[in-house]
Structure 1
Amino acid sequence: MAESGEAPRTVILTVDDDPGVSRAVARDLRRRYGGSHRVVRAETASAALEALQEMKLRGDLVAVIVADYRMPQMNGIEFLERAMDVFPGARRVLLTAYADTGAAIDAINLVDLDHYLLKPWDPPEEKLYPVVDDLLDSWLASDHRPVPETKVVGHRWSAHSSEVREFLARNQVPYRWYPSDEPEGQRLLAAAGEDGLRLPLVITPDGRVLVEPDARELAGRVGLATAPSAEFYDLIVVGGGPAGLGAAVYGASEGLRTVLVERTATGGQAGQSSRIENYLGFPDGVSGAQLTDRARRQAARFGAEMLTAREVVGLEVNGPSRAVRFADGSAIAAHTVILATGVTYRQLDAPGVAGLTGRGVFYGAALTEAAGCAGKDVYVVGGANSAGQAAVHLAKGARSVTILVRADDLTRSMSHYLVQQIAELPSVTVRARTEVARAHGSDHLERLTLRDTVTGATEEVDAQWLFVFIGAAPLTGWLEGVVVRDERGFVVAGPDLAPGGEPPKGWPLDRVPYHLETSVPGVFVAGDARSESAKRVASAVGEGAMAVMLVHRYLERL
């Protein structure tokens, strides 16, 4: 392995088993970037991995990794997959011959590949440098600094411990989990001067100790933005799911001063999905976390401001200004607002469930809990896509997965491709016309009573894990009395407000509402929170983009 001189800490790594190609790509990279980056060259994947480990220990920053596809022992895709574990933020490029472009395209999903380059790349001024320039800009715009892991000490069956882990995971904050009854967890508790009666305990990378933190305190201490930088914006987006992220990307990219406010973590329900396989442009599927991360980075790159762990509790109209009020009493205002609050899963109304929530009963995918299900019997309640995706994901490690649905089968509400996948998994069973009648357990879920919805017959089964995906309740209660909602709480907009082509009662303008505009001019709705929406990721993203177009139309007439 050869390196350029002393150079800065930021590294561009290139690996190719052909010495001639290896020298050529390193030479071209040094010619352009040698003054600002250290170019490291390796001729085997194993040597490159060793170099990455050494740089990790030294605290170096790796911005771009360029790997050849055809290498012995370990090909470029396998190498990049392992390199992701060491430097997940580094931008990844695959060097490939024309005959291997299919493999390169597959790698886009497999290792979240940023780009692939065909060999030869002459002239580099046209084929190499523009690509690397864009990747370096993207890397610089991200939070690329190495962040020491946050430590979380908690009890395995503590609902609050589960909430903290889920919050960190969904916000992609690196952390390590230490059970409070194991030696290392006990050592950390002792070092913090705690006896373990108050859990979870969080130790931030700078050594600060948080005991039983709420989401906002935790967010502020692990580097997530919680306070707005201004009092007035062009656009406030409420909600960070696909619709909200789509609106933030298009709003900020088109020059609007945009702030996105999210009460928990960006991504919404889609962000918790283990695999979305019917989203356009991802033939092999994409995880909700990957899609969310890309969208969040994209929005940030365009200048959108994102606030986490801020709950919006009110919407106010003050002349041409629209303000959103937070739970702590503070507020921010803007010319326009896009409501992208999405939906939440309905609570399972069965005795015993509420007291065991977070202690074996989980709503949604509960990303941090999947590993604990290995070799266990798992139950999933729900018959829509989110339940199906979770069942397929859990089946990879669980001994068995049982899907409980009240309907006759899954075809009523689940996409055909998922129904087919589930039918081919021997460890997954579908129990139709079945519901949870009761949950049993002391400190965690131990058993379930299941009931046949036709005959009323009951059966008790052993269970430690229950994941619930039932219904969709809109998060719009805070809009009561401000915007028109339907009987289920979804926001009514556009033509549904003016079915006869006439402005709705109380509408103050001489035009009918725009397509996604609510009963308050300048306030729009996008995604699952809208009445009669499609409840799909692609349509939510599209509505977020369309809402921004209508925001521009509204602003032009102010």
Structure 2
Amino acid sequence: MKKPVLLAVDDDPQVLNAIERDLRQEFRRDYRVLRAASGEEALATLQELQQRDEPLALVLADQRMPGLQGVELLEQTRQLFPDAKRVLLTAYADTEAAIRAINQARLDYYLMKPWDPPQELLYPTLHDLLTAWQVSYKPRFQGVRLIGFQWSPLSHELKDFLAGYLVAYQWLDFETNPDAQLLLVRSGYTAADLPVVIFEDNTALANPTRTDIAGRLGLAQTASQDLYDVVVIGAGPAGLASAVYGASEGLRTLVIERQAPGGQAGTSSRIENYLGFPTGLSGSELAHRAWMQAIRLGAEILAPQEVTELCVQDGYKALTLSNGSEIRTRAVVMTTGVSYRTLEVPGIHELTGAGVYYGAARTEARTCEQQDVYIVGGGNSAGQAAMYLATYARRVFILIRGESLAASMSAYLIEQLNQTPNVEILPYSQVVGVRGQDHLEEVVLNNNGTEEVRPARALFIFIGAKPSTEWVCKTVVCDHKGYLLTGRDLVTDPRYAEAWKHNREPYLLETCVPGVFAAGDSRAGAMARVASAVGEGSMAIKFVHQYLDE
């Protein structure tokens, strides 16, 4: 963060040197002192500061300068920096003109030459003015700024992407935030270009893709090696565990993640049943601890990148990415996880990302303040989302088809929900429609055959999951639901008996393709818990070693 600027202006070199020296001596700790030898030079400096969006605290300008005089300069300063303090430096003979300028041009003060000693005649006045300026000064946010429309699905997607990588960013709603409109003009774009991402160096991208932003944030987009020992596809808890153990044991390890680290667990507001964290931790915190641990140990991570094809070539595995590049590896660990199933009711597709969200959508929680929100689903993810949203929303309604949550949610979460006064469970209920113009306004509920229309600010959907394996089921055997089959399931189930065609039995987490393993939620028979996924991801590396040693 650059320090606020103090600008000294005088056409007399000796006076300018003296005022600059005194300002630096007293204020250099908290301010940056700049100088200008004329009114025109000072105006150019002010315009440059405005373009760079740098803060200006005070201008101290001499009155008698050729060309642009002090009062005229300070009047233009007010137009460029309305909050900056403006002080006129004048001789005794010009005091009457200075007083008139204070009244007419609304200057903050005038100072007499000479000001020696500055401890008595300069510093007290400037300290008072700067203290008053600091009261109203709001430092410019240092980081990524995202300008968009609240109800834009693409804006929502970018917010989730930045939050998923724990990037500090500022959201600016173009319709309600005057700063957003000013920043957009300075960036050279218009409302038609939204959303616009402005980076810390003030460069901007309009309608960017996640890959565009990732490149600017320093996330790797291309592999650094021609051949890896193991490639992990997916950076959820299972994938990150594989990366940590693979890298720590000396394997050339690459992780490819198509969205954000943590998978579904990464969106959880609070995980309270994970071993070793008695007070719980957020899913994003757990994911980023593991992410940094994997990198520290030597793993390489590509994100966001998506694998679209897996094939075997001469014993090696060739992975094709969505950008057309190819990566070769000796072994693969599939940890692709699952994605939420979509709710098929009238109006849902038009409002997805504009009040209707799949998963926790933590980036939208603050916009639900003092509003009613609805959650569809009765699993742990739904319960954790309800507890988080209850901090902001007026009321949180959980819609479940059955009588209670006991069969689908952990007991500790049910107890927390029962103790939260603004959370209400609606049994035997389901959403049969959603309504709204450009965003969600109403939900249509069916409760035991009775339809009811209710106002709603947001609808969060957790109605089960499907494995993210569509792209690989032609190469690797999956069950009828799309989950990856591994280990003994390949040889004991007669439906898949022909899938394994090798002399040895498959390793516990090995798919029908030797050297391709599966772990976590996308594996058939896996338990949908973070601890289980971490365990399977770690175990997979043991079997990778056994396969590579064959």
Q: TM-score, normalised by structure 2?
A: 0.73
Alignment of 1:157 onto 2:142:
no
* Aligned residues: CA RMSD: 1.9
Alignment of 1:530 onto 2:538:
no
Alignment of 1:428 onto 2:423:
yes
Give the AA of the match of 1:275: R
Alignment counterpart, residue 513 of structure 2, candidates 507, 510, 520: 520
Alignment correspondent of 1:475? 468
Q: How many residues align?
A: 414
Alignment counterpart, residue 199 of structure 1, candidates 173, 194, 199: 194
Structure 1 residue 466, shift from structure 2 partner = 0.7
Spell out, residue by residue over 1:260-300, the C-alpha distance to the aligned partner (whole angstroms, 9 max, x if none): 00001110010110000000011111111111111111111
- Matches for 1:204-353 after TM superposition, within 5 Å: 204-353=199-348
Structure 1 residue 536, shift from structure 2 partner = 0.4
Alignment of 1:511 onto 2:504:
yes
Query: What CA distance in whole angstroms lies between the structure 2 residues aligned with 1:333 and 1:542?
Result: 26
Quick one: structure 1 residues 377 and 56, their matched pair in 2 at CA, closer, same or farther if it must change by over 3 Å?
farther
Is the 2:511–2:517 Cα contact (8 Å) retained in structure 1? yes
Query: What CA distance in whole angstroms lies between the structure 1 residues aligned with 2:422 and 2:266?
Result: 25
Using the TM superposition, name which of 218-227 and 308-317 deviates more: 218-227
Alignment correspondent of 1:494? 487
Quick one: structure 1 residues 255 and 501, their matched pair in 2 at CA, closer, same or farther if it must change by over 3 Å?
farther
Query: What CA distance in whole angstroms lies between the structure 2 residues aligned with 1:180 and 1:501?
Result: 60
Spell out, residue by residue over 1:293-338, the C-alpha distance to the aligned partner (whole angstroms, 9 max, x if none): 1111111110111111101111111121012111122110100000
Alignment counterpart, residue 180 of structure 1, candidates 153, 174, 177: 174
- Matches for 1:124-139 after TM superposition, within 5 Å: none
Query: What CA distance in whole angstroms lies between the structure 1 residues aligned with 2:411 and 2:31?
Result: 48
Identity of aligned residues (%): 48
Query: What CA distance in whole angstroms lies between the structure 1 residues aligned with 2:188 and 2:315?
Result: 53
Query: What CA distance in whole angstroms lies between the structure 2 residues aligned with 1:208 and 1:194?
Result: 11
Alignment correspondent of 2:358? 363
Alignment correspondent of 1:393? 388
Query: What CA distance in whole angstroms lies between the structure 2 residues aligned with 1:285 and 1:480?
Result: 36
Query: What CA distance in whole angstroms lies between the structure 2 residues aligned with 1:350 and 1:555?
Result: 49
Query: What CA distance in whole angstroms lies between the structure 2 residues aligned with 1:503 and 1:471?
Result: 26
Give the AA of the match of 1:189: L
Alignment correspondent of 1:546? 539
Alignment correspondent of 1:463? 456
Structure 1 residue 55, shift from structure 2 partner = 10
Quick one: structure 1 residues 502 and 491, their matched pair in 2 at CA, closer, same or farther if it must change by over 3 Å?
closer
Query: What CA distance in whole angstroms lies between the structure 2 residues aligned with 1:55 and 1:281?
Result: 44
Structure 1 residue 227, shift from structure 2 partner = 1.5
Structure 1 residue 56, shift from structure 2 partner = 11
Q: Which runs of 5+ in 1 are unaligned?
A: 1-53, 59-146
Query: What CA distance in whole angstroms lies between the structure 2 residues aligned with 1:148 and 1:297?
Result: 23
Is the 1:503–1:513 Cα contact (8 Å) retained in structure 2? no
Query: What CA distance in whole angstroms lies between the structure 1 residues aligned with 2:499 and 2:459?
Result: 47
Quick one: structure 1 residues 434 and 336, their matched pair in 2 at CA, closer, same or farther if it must change by over 3 Å?
same
Alignment of 1:449 onto 2:444:
yes
Query: What CA distance in whole angstroms lies between the structure 2 residues aligned with 1:489 and 1:507?
Result: 18
Structure 1 residue 434, shift from structure 2 partner = 0.8
Quick one: structure 1 residues 466 and 55, their matched pair in 2 at CA, closer, same or farther if it must change by over 3 Å?
farther
Query: What CA distance in whole angstroms lies between the structure 1 residues aligned with 2:310 and 2:502?
Result: 19
Give the AA of the match of 1:416: A
Is the 2:340–2:464 Cα contact (8 Å) retained in structure 1? yes
Alignment of 1:190 onto 2:185:
yes
Give the AA of the match of 1:178: L
Query: Could you say what secondary structure the match of 1:498 adopts?
Result: helix
Quick one: structure 1 residues 394 and 263, their matched pair in 2 at CA, closer, same or farther if it must change by over 3 Å?
same
Query: What CA distance in whole angstroms lies between the structure 2 residues aligned with 1:283 and 1:480?
Result: 39
Structure with max Cα Rg = 2
Query: Could you say what secondary structure the match of 1:324 adopts?
Result: strand
Structure 1 residue 471, shift from structure 2 partner = 0.6
Spell out, residue by residue over 1:56-113, the C-alpha distance to the aligned partner (whole angstroms, 9 max, x if none): 999xxxxxxxxxxxxxxxxxxxxxxxxxxxxxxxxxxxxxxxxxxxxxxxxxxxxxxx
Query: What CA distance in whole angstroms lies between the structure 1 residues aligned with 2:180 and 2:382?
Result: 34
Query: Could you say what secondary structure the match of 2:305 adopts?
Result: coil
Query: What CA distance in whole angstroms lies between the structure 2 residues aligned with 1:465 and 1:379?
Result: 6
Query: What CA distance in whole angstroms lies between the structure 1 residues aligned with 2:192 and 2:314?
Result: 52
Alignment correspondent of 1:29? none
Q: TM-score, normalised by structure 1?
A: 0.72
Q: Which runs of 5+ in 2 are unaligned?
A: 1-27, 33-140
Alignment counterpart, residue 375 of structure 1, candidates 370, 374, 385: 370
Query: What CA distance in whole angstroms lies between the structure 1 residues aligned with 2:373 and 2:493?
Result: 51
Quick one: structure 1 residues 55 and 266, their matched pair in 2 at CA, closer, same or farther if it must change by over 3 Å?
farther
Query: Could you say what secondary structure the match of 2:392 adopts?
Result: coil
Structure 1 residue 398, shift from structure 2 partner = 1.2
Query: What CA distance in whole angstroms lies between the structure 1 residues aligned with 2:543 and 2:324?
Result: 30
Alignment of 1:170 onto 2:164:
yes
Query: What CA distance in whole angstroms lies between the structure 2 residues aligned with 1:435 and 1:56?
Result: 59
